[in-house]
Amino acid sequence: CRFVQAHGTWVGLPSDDDMGNSEVGHNAIGSGKVYKQGASLVDAALESGDLFKGEGFTYVKSAFPTNTLHLIGLLSNGGVHARYEQLKQLMQGSFEAGAKKMRLHILTDGRDVPDGSSIEFVGQLEKDLEQLRAKGCDALIASGGGRMNVTMDRYEADWGIVERGWKAHVLGEAPHKFESALEAVTELRKLPKANDQYLEPFVIVDASGSSVGPIQDNDAVVLFNYRSDRMVEISKAFEYEDFKAFDRVRYPKGLKFAGMLQYDGDLKLPAKYLVPPPFIEKTSGEYMVKNGMNIFACSETQKFGHVTFFWNGNRSGYFDEKRETYVEIPSDKCPFNEKPDMKTKEITEAGIAALKSGRYDLLRINFASPDMVGHTGSLEATIRACETCDECLGQLLEEVDKLGGVYLVCS
């Protein structure tokens, strides 16, 4: 047993104060190299000013003279999906580039930062927007909700999360209406079992009760998260005209839509982005299949992309479908502390079956439960998740030993 560094500059993040995360971790393990990661890329582009000179921002800027700029993303300084300082710089730079009207659509965190910190972040954002208004920019918070309940679904686990976001951000419709975002997060946190991650969707309304910021034809929309996994689905909703995952009711025409980064290189999604993504080549998966090895990768929905997309250098699909088998076990659609075992047993069964088949030279397995249940903050449920994971890992490793194999366990 030995320790390896999995945070900060060791994995391509801006400083050693930045905690690691599952995305950059799987990029690093899969590639065996250190690349500048999303946060570092965005920091560098903002510091140099290149972000505001690039093709993506130029495209978005074309809407500024007559239309609204909408900024959608995680309101947090956790450093995993987004950073507040980057949002602040993006707002200021957009104003200096001619944005006359801005609307913020905020997703509260409570996962990568302490639960309850939403009130502090919203308060700070309101102060910064007030400064923009004093300079002549019509800048307001328009809608929001908790990250695990609104907009930020991943791996198509629950399109209803994205639909709730679409209704709030685009249509200006939500079950809760308030005249200020600070009032919204304060009051919604009082609901039973409420926390920042799962806040109900809300919209901000004016004195007449009308939404202050629905997304209209010819507006500009920027997703300001730099991490990709929880931005892919909402990107599809904005970008694909023939989108069918849910009824969008109204699809704004002529949108100038862009992501902070391109969230899926194979899908070219979104087509426009403010900062070019890291170019990760010659990953271990690609090297192995090109040298005749057969690979099995398995997890449940919440971590499936980590043993495939992120492991393979932010690429969707196979390098060689004849040599690779990817198995996704659907995650439960409920708060993970309610079913803390998640799909650990099913993943174990699939892994053991793959080992016994004799078809594979390498297996990649990810047990999602300790991480996902741990993020709920429920100690009792987390202990249960870890106990089940430990038991199942033992079963898997026992089978590896029987076959004379070698295993590497990372935690």
Active site residues: 22
Pairwise CA distance, residues 277 & 263, whole Å: 8
Residue where the block lists tokens 């992120």: 310
CA dist list (Å): 404 to 355, 366, 391, 401, 409: 11, 21, 20, 5, 16
Q: What is the 3-state secondary structure (H, E, C) of 155-184?
A: CCCCHHHHHHHHHHHHHCCCCEEECCHHHH
The enclosing H or E element of 128 equals helix 118-134
The CA distance from 168 to 213, in Å, is 9
Distance CA 306, CA 339 (A): 21
- Residue linked to tokens 């965005």: 42
- Local structure of residue 11 (DSSP, 8 states): G
- Cα angle 63, 67, 68 (rounded to 5 degrees) comes to 100
